Structure 1
Amino acid sequence: MAADDRQRRVDDLVERHGGRLQRFLRRRVRNAADIPDVIQEVFLRLLRVPNHETIRAPEAYILTIARHVAQQHALQSAGSAASVELETVLSELRAVPETDPALAVTAEQCVEELDRALLQLSPKVQATFLLYRRDGMSMDEISARLGISRPMAKKYLARALVHFRKRLKDME
């Protein structure tokens, strides 16, 4: 697909789905002034897709991209830098042996629940949890990385753990 065709396709998608995208992002981006930047990034990523014809559900595809961009924006806003990627953690959890379909379905449901639970946390609490659990950082390293005090880093981690415990009890 030529660049002009891709641009026309994206323009059409902006016209048809731009309002829904803005409403979607208003619930996910804390600072309303950042929404235009996030939207621009979503459509820039969409322009990079080589074959737009293969996208079966454009609105769902756009909202998925928007969710990823909003998550990255939230983590960067929390001062955690681009190295803390929520999607990296989730993709590792999705790596389930394909030999047992029931196990794969259960694992996918757990990953989706974890994703929803993480999205409910503030960006700094998310970043603290990921830096501690995924990257194995100490409280001192986390506090230096996020620009917060050590006791605040401990408080953020405790909030995350309490939140996950509550969500696990709700699932049972």
Structure 2
Amino acid sequence: MSGADFAQQQLHSLYQDHHGWLYGWLRRRLGCSHRAADLAQDTYLRVLTSGRVPDQAQARPHLMQIAKGLVVDRHRRQRIEQAYLEALSHQPMAVAPSPEESSLVLDTLVRIDRMLASLKPRVRETFLLSRFDGLTYSAIAERLGMSVATVRKDMLVAMQACLAATEAP
């Protein structure tokens, strides 16, 4: 049996042995059978794309860890989508984006949110103070008790991460 056949057999066994349990766990957690089914399939897709099928002893903890991450991602996306829709509701209908444009904007916002969450706290705070509170580098340096040069370095890191997040597919 080739390595690919063995991996496929392992994945099949993992799915057969644990799909019902995972689906039930997600359904209880989400309160919706359709979302649970989608996230259960997404969990197995992540296992498939990772190329790492856990052994039987670690199967459920591994699947649960992936599924929890997907649930968190889903809640985060819903929160971002609600904020986006709220912002759109204050715009005239003439400037309302198409569904395709809205989807692209939401995907970009989710990537930016992930990027912000991945930054070191000081870098994230520096970025937010500059871009959302409109503070100057001098004001940020004074508020955070650091040099203007450090603010510049933190902003460079944040802007590079932001650029990378918005260019990602």
**TM-score, shorter chain, exceeding 0.5:** no
Q: Which has the higher contact order (CA 8 A, sep 6+)?
A: 1
* TM-score of the aligned structures, taking structure 2 as reference length: 0.45
TM-score, scaled relative to structure 1: 0.44
Q: Which has the larger radius of gyration?
A: 2
